[in-house]
């Protein structure tokens, strides 16, 4: 059988995550993280069958980071040529209205991703930087862009339309796009398989709780509503992003306190969420502070869970019949406290938690609701890299 190994790249503003992964059998040949790009010293962690390598080289920009990554693969294995890589799969956050499926990257696709940067300022610029460099250093391989927005192209008009002046909205492409779609697509298939249901007949509420966080209502295997909007700022409380708020707050800060648009953008995207509420953006740190009795951390985690609860209630109403509520992402997969506080007391709505099951850990999909509950509650580990690899292979072969 032909090789199906893909080099998957997820380029963030100061980090690059990579995996060399077999799209057919999900085997990971190597994975790594390059952090602190642009700082005085960077950090590389590379894991393969040969073991773990950690280094602190200088990584002044994405170009040097990707070259260091290729050097690490050459030196510590597996070499790309030996691994039989058939494609490079790139995570791209915003695909706008143009992309509802993965595409082979060419100069024209690059231009569009660049134009969409204004709508995903934390994500598209580093995604694009990674694509540009990777196409230079790996010119002989096909490069595939897989978009976070693609899965949400099935949203109905009632879910994607903001109640704005319709001409202003149309001229400026203002609508809900939704994000985390690659993760939600993967989790939809995994959860349906776990429930032994046909995805086309399965309704789910998927809570992707990572650095960014979102809720999605899936009807018949397709996205029916989602909490992120024109940009990945709307919806749930996140590590550094506010999620939902009254837009009037922006006018107030602009008029009464003289904030500029860039300052407001920075406030909402980088200095709000958990970080704004209690000084740390990592949920493990929030929990540690809360356990020590820190009142800000306690309120931060309560606000975080309360917002999730509001969306679960909203999407139960949107779907009418829900087969499962599914937790995924770093927080969703690991934080039993967040899971139980987000959905406790919903027995009347068919949702219950079994606390022993909720406290257990595992790498595989699992129930955390009691047997016989009307709506299952599941933890399903996401795997965006595998989904990107599968979609890339499907496109190039």
Ligand X SMILES: Nc1ncnc2c1ncn2[C@@H]1O[C@H](COP(=O)(O)OP(=O)(O)O)[C@@H](O)[C@H]1O
331 binds ligand X (CB under 6 A): yes
Catalytically annotated residue among 107, 140, 148, 296: 148
284 binds, among ligand UVW, ligand X, Mg ion, none (CB under 5 to 8 A by kind): ligand X
Instruction: State how far the Cα of 202 lies from the Cα of 220, in Å rounded to an integer.
Output: 5
Q: Which is nearer to Mg ion, 102 or 210 (CB)?
A: 210
Cβ 183 to ligand UVW shortest distance, Å: 8
With 0-12 / 13-18 / 19 or more C-beta atoms within 10 angstroms meaning exposed / middle / buried, residue 325 is buried
Instruction: State how far the Cα of 146 lies from the Cα of 278, in Å rounded to an integer.
Output: 34
235 binds ligand X (CB under 6 A): no
283 binds, among ligand X, Mg ion, ligand UVW, none (CB under 5 to 8 A by kind): ligand X
Q: What residues between 186 and 225 interact with Mg ion by CB under 5 A?
A: 210
Give the one residue of 100, 161, 334, 340 binding ligand X; rule: CB under 6 A.
334
**Do the Cβ atoms of 328 and 206 come closer than 8 Å?**
yes
326 binds ligand X (CB under 6 A): no
239 binds Mg ion (CB under 5 A): no
Q: What residues between 191 and 220 interact with ligand X by CB under 6 A?
A: 210-212
Cβ 297 to ligand X shortest distance, Å: 13
Q: What residues between 244 and 303 interact with ligand X by CB under 6 A?
A: 282-284
For residue 207, which of 388, 91, 368, 33 has the smallest C-alpha distance?
A: 368
Q: Which is nearer to ligand X, 93 or 204 (CB)?
A: 93
Cβ 172 to ligand X shortest distance, Å: 28
Instruction: State how far the Cα of 29 lies from the Cα of 31, in Å rounded to an integer.
Output: 7
Cβ 116 to ligand UVW shortest distance, Å: 13
Count of C-beta atoms within a 10 Å radius of residue 274:
27
165 counts as catalytic:
no
Cis status, amide bond into 133, omega within 30 of 0: no
Q: Which is nearer to Mg ion, 72 or 382 (CB)?
A: 382
Instruction: State how far the Cα of 395 lies from the Cα of 373, in Å rounded to an integer.
Output: 40
330 binds, among ligand UVW, Mg ion, ligand X, none (CB under 5 to 8 A by kind): ligand X
Residues that bind ligand UVW (CB under 6 A): 93, 123, 148, 179-180, 210-212, 232
- Of all residues in the shown chain, the one whose CB is closest to ligand X is 330
Number of residues that bind Mg ion (CB under 5 A): 1
329 binds ligand X (CB under 6 A): yes
Sign of the CA dihedral with 225 first, then 229, 231, and 233 last: negative
Binding residues for Mg(2+): 10, 384
Q: Which is nearer to ligand X, 4 or 209 (CB)?
A: 209
Cβ 286 to ligand X shortest distance, Å: 8
Q: Which is nearer to ligand X, 78 or 89 (CB)?
A: 89
Q: Which is nearer to Mg ion, 210 or 221 (CB)?
A: 210
Q: Which residues bind Mg ion (CB under 5 A)?
A: 210
Q: Which residues bind ligand X (CB under 6 A)?
A: 210-212, 239, 282-284, 329-331, 334-335
Which positions are annotated as active-site residues? Answer: 148
């Amino acid at each position: 059988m032909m090789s199906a190994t893909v080099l998957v790249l997820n380029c963030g503003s100061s980090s690059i995550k990579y995996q060399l992964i077999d799209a057919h059998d999900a085997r990971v040949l190597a994975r790594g993280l390059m952090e602190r790009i642009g700082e005085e010293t960077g950090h590389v962690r590379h894991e393969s069958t040969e073991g773990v390598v950690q280094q602190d080289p200088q990584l002044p920009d994405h170009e040097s980071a990707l070259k260091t990554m290729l050097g690490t693969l050459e030196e510590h294995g597996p070499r790309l040529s030996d691994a039989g890589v058939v494609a490079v799969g790139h995570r791209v956050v915003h695909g706008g209205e143009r992309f509802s499926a993965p595409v082979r990257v060419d100069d024209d696709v690059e231009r569009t991703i660049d134009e969409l940067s204004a709508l995903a300022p934390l994500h598209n610029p580093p995604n694009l930087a990674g694509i540009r460099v990777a196409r230079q250093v790996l010119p002989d391989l096909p490069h595939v862009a897989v978009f976070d927005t693609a899965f949400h192209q099935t949203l109905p008009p009632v879910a994607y339309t903001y109640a704005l002046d319709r001409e202003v909205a149309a001229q400026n492409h203002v609508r809900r796009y939704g994000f985390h779609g690659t993760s939600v697509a993967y989790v939809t298939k995994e959860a349906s398989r776990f429930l032994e249901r046909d995805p086309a007949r399965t309704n789910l509420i998927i809570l992707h709780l990572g650095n960014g966080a979102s809720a999605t209502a899936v009807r018949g295997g397709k996205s029916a509503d989602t909490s992120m909007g024109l940009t990945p700022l709307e919806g749930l409380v996140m590590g550094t992003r506010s999620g939902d708020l009254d837009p009037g707050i922006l006018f107030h800060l602009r008029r009464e306190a003289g904030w500029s648009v860039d300052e407001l953008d920075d406030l909402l995207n980088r200095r709000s969420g958990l970080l704004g509420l209690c000084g740390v953006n990592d949920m493990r740190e929030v929990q540690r502070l809360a356990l020590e009795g820190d009142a800000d951390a306690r309120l931060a985690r309560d606000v975080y869970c309360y917002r999730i609860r509001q969306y679960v209630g909203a999407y139960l109403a949107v779907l009418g019949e829900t087969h499962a509520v599914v937790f995924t992402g770093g927080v969703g997969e690991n934080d039993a406290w967040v899971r139980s506080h987000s959905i406790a007391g919903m027995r009347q709505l068919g949702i219950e938690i079994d606390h022993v099951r909720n406290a257990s850990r595992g790498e595989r999909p699992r129930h955390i609701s009691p047997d016989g509950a009307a709506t299952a509650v599941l933890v399903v580990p996401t795997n965006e890299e595998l989904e990107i690899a599968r979609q890339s292979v499907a496109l190039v072969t």
